[in-house]
Amino acid sequence: MKTRFNSHKSLCRSLPLSVFLRLCCASVLSLFALRLDAQPYLASPVSHKGPTGLTVVRNSEYNNVVSWHALPGATSYILQHRSLYPANLWTDVPGCDPESITCTDITATTSGYAYRVQASNGINSTDWSNIAVFLSEPGNDGYVIGPPFSTDSIVPDAVQPGIRAGLSYGGAPLTGFLSFNTSALGSTTTILAGKLRLKQATSNDAFELLGPCMVDVQKGAFSHNAALEVGDISYTDANTTVDAFEIIGVGADEWFEAIVGGSDRVNNTDHTQFRIYFNHSDTINEYAGWYSGESDESPPQLLVRYKE
């Protein structure tokens, strides 16, 4: 071995300098190429999970702004959408800049509309990140007046604000209800998180006078029926989360947002419903109102991040 090494050493010394340098450079490049071949994912994004922070802001019936967090190592993104009612195939959202982390979808965006985004670096692609947008059902949301009850105690199709909570100007308690048909997600999906968006229609007076405005979440339907009923005011079962979160006053024509939880609160095979009420003094006639499912521009929205 020593004799062979000395022989190579003598050969190198006998070579012209230019030839010696070319041989050295070729050897270094060969070693570098072998190293890349041994690590095929070296140039891939840091994580093969899809982009985080995927969310949707529904500004109108034909305007959804979809955004997500940038993924280190990614050079482009693909955003796709599809209807869940009826179920359609995934298609690319037109007009998106592949290098941007936001895109405005100006196609028809009805209730039960899903998006997914994937990152790529030109060589490898991540998994998909999914989110679905559900709008509150006009025929099943609204508010209940009472007790004491009157013949007009159930108000499912009121003029705006169609969702009310607090005390009516006649002194009767008002309890608001929201209904989202989230069954299109299907039993094979895994719910990761849900977010409720409500557009306030009244001032903040009720929040200042009546105490905390609380929300109960029903994984399924109150009273085992999606329709608005008087009994929904007091109904609870094993799938009811009482005082799940608090609604804070944000001002008229402003949006309130709250995280509502994951698979323990959002139902992927049935409805997901919300009950809104004030822990208030019974002597102050004031209520807060939010736009209901009857509103074309500002219906309540439930955003659900999920994994297929």
A 10 A CB-CB count for 39 gives 9
SS3 content of the chain, % helix, strand, coil (to 5): 15, 35, 45
d(CA 97, CA 152): 52
Give residue-wise pLDDT tens across range 165-188.
999 888 889 999 999 999 999 999
Look at the chain and count its residues: 308
Span 210-223, average pLDDT = 97
Give residue-wise pLDDT tens across range 290-301.
999 999 889 999
42 falls in which pLDDT band (50, 70, 90)? Answer: very low
